Chains A and B, each alone.
Chain A
Amino acid sequence: MRDNELIRCEGVWKVYNEGRPYEVRALEDVSLRIQRGSFTLFSGPSGSGKTTLMCIIGTIHRPSRGGVYLNGKDISGFSDAALSRIRRERIGFVFQNFNLIPKLSAWENTAAPIIPLCVTERERRQRALQLLNRLGLMERAHHRPEELSGGEQQRVAIARALINDPEIIILDEPTSNIDVENISLLIGILEDLRAKGKTILASSHDESMLKRADLIFELRRGHLTGIRTP
Chain B
Amino acid sequence: MKNALLPFIKHINLLYTATGNILRHKLRSMVVVLCLIAVLFPFISSVAVLEGVKAQSVISVDEGADIYVTMDLYGKNGVIPIETAGEIKKIEGVVRAVPRVIGRTYIEGRLAVLSGISDDEKPPSLNFIKGSPPGSGEVVIGKALADELKLNIGSSLSIGVRIFAIVDHRPYILKKVYRISGIFDSRSGIWTSRLVMMRMDDLIAMFEMEGFVTDIAVYIRPGSEVSVTEALQRMNPYFRIQTKGLVKSYIERGFNMRGGIFLILYTVAFALAVPAILVSSGFGLSDRKKEIGILKASGWQTHEVMEMVFFENLMLAIAGASAAFILSFIWVRLLNGFFIAQIFIAEAGSMPPFPVPSRFMPLPFILSFFFALILTIVGGMYSTWKTAIVPPAEALR
Flag whether B206 is at the interface (Cβ < 8 A): no
- Tell whether A33 is near chain B: CB-to-CB under 8 Å: no
The CA of A97 and the CA of B290, in the complex, are separated in Å by 12
Residue among A60, A104, A112, A124 having the largest count of chain B Cβ atoms under 10 Å: A60
The segment from B146-154, B163-171, B374-382, B387-395 found at the interface with A is B387-395
B10 touches A84 (CB 8 A): no
Taking CB atoms, residues of chain B closer than 8 Å to A116 are 10, 13-14, 300-301, 304, 308
A29-78 interface with B by 8 A CB criterion: 55, 58, 60-62
- Closest A residue to B300 using CB positions: A116
List, in ascending order, chain B residues with CB within 8 A of A112's CB: 294-295, 298
A113's contact among B7, B16, B300, B303, by CB below 8 Å, is which? B300
Contact A60 B392, CB 8 Å, known A89-B299, A112-B298, A160-B298:
yes
Question: 8 A-B contacts, Cβ less than 8 Å apart?
Answer: A58-B297, A84-B300, A87-B297, A103-B24, A113-B300, A115-B13, A115-B14, A118-B10
Knowing A118-B9, A120-B9, A121-B16 touch, does A93 contact B24 (C-beta < 8 A)? no
Q: Of A62, A115, A118, which is within 8 A of B17 by CB? A: A115
CB distance from A167 to the nearest CB of B (A): 14
Which positions in A face B, CB cutoff 8 Å?
55, 58, 60-62, 80-81, 84-85, 87-89, 93, 95, 99-104, 112-113, 115-121, 124, 160-161, 164
Tell me the dominant secondary structure on chain B's binding face: helix
User: Contact partner of A60 among B10, B287, B304, B391, CB < 8 A?
Assistant: B391
Contact A99 B396 (CB under 8 A): yes
Complex CA distance for A117 and B17, rounded to whole angstroms? 13
In the assembled complex, the CB of A94 is this many whole angstroms from the nearest CB of chain B, namely: 10
Question: B302 contacts A60, CB within 8 Å?
Answer: no
Would you call B100 an interface residue if the criterion is a C-beta within 8 Å of the partner chain's C-beta atoms?
Answer: no
Q: Is the CB–CB distance between A62 and B9 below 8 Å? A: no
A7 to B391, CA, bound (A): 20
B199 within 8 A of A: no
Give min CB distance, A205 to chain B, whole Å: 22
Q: How far is the CB of A134 from chain B (nearest CB, A)?
A: 19
Question: Which interface class (under 10, 10 to 19, 20 to 34, 35 or more) fits B?
Answer: 20 to 34
The A interface, classified by DSSP as helix, strand, loop or mixed, is loop
| Known A101-B291, A119-B9; contact A60-B301, beta-carbon cutoff 8 A | no
Chain A proximity mask over B1-16: 1 for CB below 8 Å, otherwise 0: 0100011011001101
Knowing A87-B297, A115-B13, the reply to whether A103 touches B25 (Cβ < 8 A) is yes
Contact surface of B with A, Cβ cutoff 8 Å? 2, 6-7, 9-10, 13-14, 16-17, 24-25, 287, 290-291, 293-304, 308, 389, 391-394, 396
Question: Do B294 and A118 touch (CB < 8 A)?
Answer: no
The distance in angstroms between the C-alpha atoms of A81 and B389, with both chains bound, is 10
CA distance A87 to B393 in the complex (A): 13
Minimum CB distance partner of A116 in chain B:
B304
Please give me the 3 A-B residue pairs with the lowest Cβ-Cβ distance, nearest first: A88-B299, A113-B298, A116-B304
Task: Name the B residues within 8 Å of A119 (CB-CB).
Answer: 9, 13
A88 to B302, CA, bound (A): 13
Question: What B residues does A161 contact at CB under 8 A?
Answer: 298
Are B290 and A87 in contact, with the CB atoms below 8 A? no
Residues of B within 8 A of A124 (CB): 13
Residue among A60, A102, A103, A160 making CB contact with B393, cutoff 8 Å: A60
Known: A116-B308, A120-B2. 10 other contacts (CB 8 A): A60-B297, A81-B301, A81-B302, A85-B299, A88-B298, A99-B293, A112-B294, A113-B295, A116-B10, A116-B304
Q: Are B299 and A101 touching (Cβ within 8 A)?
A: no
A-chain residues with CB within 8 Å of residue B293 when the two chains form the complex: 99
Residues of B within 8 A of A121 (CB): 13, 16
The answer to whether A99 and B294 touch (CB under 8 A), given A121-B16, A164-B299, is yes
In the complex, what distance in Å separates the CA atom of A62 from the CA atom of B390?
10
In the bound assembly, the distance between CA atoms of A168 and B10 in angstroms comes to 25
Take A55-B393, A61-B391, A118-B10 as given contacts and tell me if A80 and B294 are in contact as well, using a CB distance cutoff of 8 Å: no
What CA separation (Å) do A84 and B301 show in the bound complex? 6
**Closest chain A CB from B2 CB (angstroms):** 8
| Complex Cα spacing A119 to B396, Å | 27
User: What is the chain A residue whose CB lies nearest that of B21?
Assistant: A103
Whether the pair B13, A84 counts as a contact (CB closer than 8 A) is no
Interface centre among B287, B299, B394 (most CB of A within 10 A): B299
Report chain B residues within 8 Å CB of A55: 393
The interface residues of chain B lying within 8 Å CB-to-CB of A95 are 297, 396
Report the minimum CB–CB distance from B76 to chain A (whole Å).
Answer: 71
